[in-house]
A and B are shown apart, each in its own frame.
Chain A
Amino acid sequence: MKHVVIIGNGIAGITAARHIRKKSDFKITVISGETDYFFSRTALMYVFMGHMKFEHTKPYEDWFWKKNRINLLKDWVIDVDFALKKLVCQSGCNIEYDDLILALGSRPNRFGWKGQDLKGVQGLYSYQDLELMEENTTEHAVTRAVIVGGGLIGVEMAEMLLTRNISVTFLVREGRFWGNVLPAEEGAIVERHMKEHCVELQFNSELEEIVSDDKGRVKSIRTKAGEEISCQFVGLTAGVSPNIAFLKESELETQRGVVVNKFLETNQPNVYAIGDCAQNTEPVEGRRSLEQVWYTGRMMGETVANSICKEKTAYNPGIWFNSAKFFDIEYQTYGTVLPDLQLGERAFYWEDKTGKICVKIVYDESTNVVKGVNTFGIRMRHQVWNRWLHEKKSILYVLEHLKDANFDTEFYKKYEKDIVDKFNAENATSIVLKRRNWHRILGAG
């Protein structure tokens, strides 16, 4: 019987394993050096903040794996012999595979800053990082922290530290928050909200060096502008990159990640790469070659399972979507909203007077076809937006049926009327809101 070996028990590797089990009787082995069982990386912050215990982050109970005949092995793979189809583990054991799936995930970027390996300096990606963060903040007196890099993990880290009464200074290289993803208005909402939570934001500010005390622990940082900020903790959250160091010297083709085609195949026979570590050289239109998010890992896992068990299947992730939470403000996006408007694009932006709720819809200037939406503080229905974007609905249609897309909790204040009124006023249109309709929502009529 075919032996499928998966390196990495993250969302990508585990989804692949589960779907291979559903579709076949193959022998499945999942190897990971990080933890015994699959857990949700996205929930690490909640463990630190005391919302949950680590156990709660495990999506399946521990008996699940045995019952579904998925062998788990806790070890680090240190070498792969692609010719002999064999893996070497740190513990010394060798494992042969028929098919190999690399689901290696990422690691936090470290750009060679001076002092980046000092004690009290860390990223946040793995379970070990969580433990280290616990140690760094409880066993040493920390009153002030500096976070380098303004992305999602940075915001999460800030939120975590604040719950331990540690004040946070954020160094952001760009002129605004998460500037490579968010347009300026949305960035401003996050910025204001973080300030409300007493996070000190320094834009256009880069890290020069991290300064050590006499015990090898951080005591301050210096920015490129020469400012010295004293702190006892430094969070490095300037992005992540594929965790492929041990494969760099092998015959496997790698660039920033493991290079794969649209079938998620690498240049080696029977070897696939999925999730954060895969670099897709044939992405579908409008998608990036490296997409390091939860959802894409899951979709790649499901796709590769089908290729291995059934038929060769191309990875086609459809319409982009994502979500995040910045302290108390939820963010969702469907379709494509780039930080800056492209040629021929128009944007409609509505913001509530609290300055915490907004909707931005980007559409084509000439055809009115909607390209994407960003929402802050309003939940939108994925099913509905996915259909609208697939069916290339116009902004007029979308606004007219906006109530269908509302996914806010019952009794929440509704904003559709304000939104449509604003659009009508700006564009001299006379869109009239339709009532919510279940048949339309479900796509049944």
Chain B
Amino acid sequence: MKSIRNIGLGLFLSGFSIFIASLFIGKYSISEERLSNLYDSTEEIDKGDTIVASLTKAASEMGLINKEFSSQFTFSSTLAELFKKSNESIATQFILDEGITEEEMKGLIQISIESNSVVYSESLVSVIFPENKTKQKLLIDNTSWMFVENKEYENTADFKNDLGNKVNEINGKLGQEYFIWDNKYSRFDFVKASLFGPVHDNKGLFLLLTFGLCIIGSLMYILPGVVLMGGPGIKNDGIYHDASTNRGWIGILAFGFLFFFYILLYFYPWLIVNWTSIVDPIKGLFVEGAVASQWFLYGLLYCVAMIVMGIRMFVKYRNNRYQIIRTSSVLFFQIVFAFLLVEILPLFDLPAMDLKNAWPLDFDMFFDWNVKGHLDAGTVGIFMFVWGIVFSVIVIPVMVYFYGKRWYCSWVCGCGGLAETLGDPYRQLSDKRLIAWKIERWMIYSVLVFAVIMTIFTGYHSYNEVINPDMVGSKDVLFGLSAYNIREWYGFLIGSIFAGVIGTGFYPILGNRAWCRFGCPLAAYMGLVQRFKSRFRITTNGGQCISCGNCSTYCEQGIDVRAYAQKGQNIVRSSCVGCGVCSAVCPRGVLKLENGTNDNWSRVEEPVIIIGNDGMLEVTRNAPEVAEQ
């Protein structure tokens, strides 16, 4: 058994090393063919052609055509200039065809000025462009107010100035839809299309060597636990002796990997195209020939990590049916709702929506593109949009009332799902100090407020876009602030840095629920309901607590469970996600998660005495006391 474990560990480490190494064995080059594959798939045929032509031209000017790069870093460093060049050449071409060239403007000025006075008029326009009706119209539409009959210029400089500005304005709008904006999406697509070499040519093989080996290796490591770890029961032996789970060097390494992974995923996705091409074959199962984006890679990794570590949960907690059922539930919702449905819905021309995601965790619910996407998708799309709202404002609080927020956080949610599976080995690392609780309350409610404000802005924006399309002025600006800016900041700070980099990257340092505890606005919202209007509590079993501290140690939310239990008081805390592990690890059977009554005296209050001390029952009843601090 031991040796199966060791082989498993070896396989996992090999798979993982290949995965890391695969990042560095890609080759990149630009060829016309690859460019057409990337850009010429658009329906507007000439658009693709134009882009490809101009990119090809720019690339050959830069000597990039068919030049091989062996690293995505050097390759991608040429992109900024390439895009710029291509955009410029497109712009020039467009001005020539549809705009006002410099020559043309010079000519116009020349004939519009007679002995120091401006005589610009419609007839002059047709003189300059005798053939070209489009350009004539363009100028007439835009500059008729400058005609001599409409405006008197005191000096010619003013006229030149006005004309110059107008021409710039006209030209500036041209060809923009043919530009390639230099951002992480275009870079990702471009680098991905330029990839060739061993990984690209042997996707299936690499899929086996990375995902395959890691999965098989992990399972070979995990499954023998059924025998090696002894019969069903609590399996926490050695957790604080082990460098992977006590913030030791293995933990730090794991942290480093996760941290960089998230940074790359969110901010530099074009550097990990190799990884995405490994999973192309799986993406191809949904849409033939489609290639995987970084989000597909992430979704797949997420599911795989959850399944493998979920199996570990089944082995570890096989004595505890609550844990088994709860883990099965999060796996189900992740795989079916967050992954499969999101891949499948678009095949039916429906928005790729995670139907179990709720506002405000689902923070782009009211973004204009999302709202429009739903409206464009017809009745079912609108129904899905309404479902999202009903889910968030009715289903969520009602369910929290009956079952506590656990029904979502530890039974349904994807973030919670990852935390409870991949993150389970790290749950003891959450900070239990009072100060951490204070910070938690400040932070999580600030995020909630931020989310609400951001939603108001984006909601206002979408409202204007949909209901008020003819509105004059910017549709996105409210109180002088743009919805775009606010949502960009929210997405960056909360959506990426907090939820991803800190929330998951820091598992081995801050414990597995840092995001859920300090940052998730949905958790904050449900927490308020749980604290003040819910039947859920963790009941403390009378006087049985021996203050051992297992419960507090293993509470991933950093709740000092013992502080309540040793007073005989129930645990009613807004942050409790109802994972049930405190109850599982308690060696004296003191804690029970349950849905009881909603009255304050039996649910929340500290009992008059801890059961047992009958002698104190009478005396304490009469005397009010100074609360302990």
Listed in ascending order, the chain A residues whose CB lies under 8 Å from chain B are 11, 18, 21-23, 40, 42-43, 46, 49-53, 56-59, 61, 67-68, 163, 196-197, 294-295, 298-299, 302-303, 306, 310-311, 313-319, 321, 323-325, 327-328, 330, 332, 379-383, 386, 407-413, 438, 441-442, 444
Contacts and interface: CB of A to CB of B under 8 A. Distances in A.
B230 A197 contact: yes
Nearest to B627: A22
B626 A61 contact: no
Given A328-B231, A383-B542, A411-B322, A59 B616 contact: no
Given A303-B616, A317-B613, A328 B625 contact: no
A42 B620 CA distance: 28
B547 A42 contact: yes
Contact of B322 (A23, A46, A410): A410
A59 B238 contact: no
Nearest to A306: B619
Contact of B541 (A59, A310, A381): A381
Given A40-B547, A42-B546, A379 B589 contact: yes
B492 to A, nearest CB: 36
Contacts of A42: 546-548
Nearest to B568: A382
Nearest to B234: A328
Interface stretch (B251-259, B288-296, B520-528, B593-601): B593-601
Interface string B551-587: 0110000000011001000000000000010011101
B173 interface: no
Given A407-B541, A409-B320, A315 B566 contact: no
Contacts of B230: 197, 328
Q: Which 3 A-B pairs have the closest CB atoms?
A: A382-B542, A328-B233, A316-B615
Contact of A299 (B563, B587, B616): B616
Contact of B616 (A43, A67, A302, A319): A302
A407 B592 contact: yes
B431 to A, nearest CB: 11
B544 A298 contact: no
Interface string B600-624: 0010000001111111100110010
A321 B321 contact: no
Contacts of B593: 409-410
A43 B542 CA distance: 19
Contact of A59 (B563, B597, B627): B563
B550 to A, nearest CB: 6
Contacts of B587: 325, 330
Interface stretch (B104-112, B239-247, B278-286, B508-516): B239-247
Contact of A386 (B238, B548, B594, B611): B611
A318 B614 contact: yes
16 contacts: A49-B237, A50-B237, A52-B549, A59-B549, A295-B544, A299-B615, A302-B616, A306-B616, A306-B620, A313-B619, A318-B611, A321-B612, A330-B587, A381-B541, A381-B542, A409-B320
A383 to B, nearest CB: 5
B177 interface: no
A40 B548 contact: yes
Contact of A313 (B546, B616, B628): B616
Nearest to A315: B615
A67 B629 contact: yes
A317 B234 contact: no
Given A50-B238, A379-B589, A411-B325, A40 B546 contact: yes
B151 interface: no
Residue of B232, B322, B544, B609 contacting most chain A CB atoms (<10 Å)? B544
Interface of B: 230-234, 236-242, 319-322, 325, 428, 433-434, 539, 541-544, 546-550, 552-553, 562-563, 566, 580, 583-585, 587-589, 592-594, 596-597, 602, 609-616, 619-620, 623, 625-629
A194 to B, nearest CB: 12
Nearest to A332: B589
Nearest to B596: A438
A347 B232 CA distance: 30
A317 B612 CA distance: 6
A50 B547 contact: no
Nearest to A408: B592
Contacts of A382: 541-544, 611
Contacts of B238: 49-50, 163
Contacts of A328: 230-234, 319
Residue of A21, A43, A314, A412 contacting most chain B CB atoms (<10 Å)? A43
A319 to B, nearest CB: 7
A127 B619 CA distance: 36
Contacts of B548: 40, 42-43, 46, 57
B613 A302 contact: yes
A240 to B, nearest CB: 16
B553 A303 contact: no
B237 A379 contact: no
Contacts of B231: 196, 328
A23 B237 contact: no
A199 to B, nearest CB: 12
B237 A409 contact: no
Contacts of B629: 67-68
B236 A51 contact: yes
Contacts of A313: 615-616, 619
B549 A56 contact: yes
Residue of B543, B553, B589, B597 contacting most chain A CB atoms (<10 Å)? B589
Contact of B597 (A22, A319, A330, A442): A442
A378 B562 CA distance: 21
Residue of A18, A51, A61, A413 contacting most chain B CB atoms (<10 Å)? A51
Nearest to B607: A383
Nearest to B602: A442
A57 B549 contact: yes
Given A328-B232, A410-B594, A56 B611 contact: no
B188 to A, nearest CB: 44
A306 B583 CA distance: 32
Residue of B238, B548, B588 contacting most chain A CB atoms (<10 Å)? B548
A202 B351 CA distance: 70
A51 B428 CA distance: 9
Nearest to B552: A56
A410 B404 CA distance: 14
Contacts of A310: 619, 623
A318 B618 CA distance: 13
Given A61-B433, A328-B319, A43 B611 contact: no
A87 to B, nearest CB: 27
A318 B237 contact: no
Contacts of A316: 613-615
B542 A317 contact: no
Contact of B549 (A43, A381, A407): A43
Nearest to A319: B612
Nearest to B562: A59
Given A42-B548, A53-B240, A409-B321, 10 more contacts: A23-B623, A51-B553, A52-B428, A196-B231, A299-B613, A332-B588, A408-B592, A409-B592, A410-B580, A411-B321
B247 to A, nearest CB: 11
A176 B609 CA distance: 37
Contacts of A163: 237-238
Given A318-B613, A330-B587, A330-B588, A438 B597 contact: yes
Contacts of B623: 23, 310
Nearest to B433: A61
A59 B233 contact: no
A314 B617 CA distance: 11
Contacts of A49: 236-238
A382 B588 CA distance: 12
A323 B589 contact: yes
A173 to B, nearest CB: 26
Contacts of A59: 547, 549, 562-563, 566
A56 B548 CA distance: 8
Given A57-B549, A59-B549, A310-B619, A386 B613 contact: no
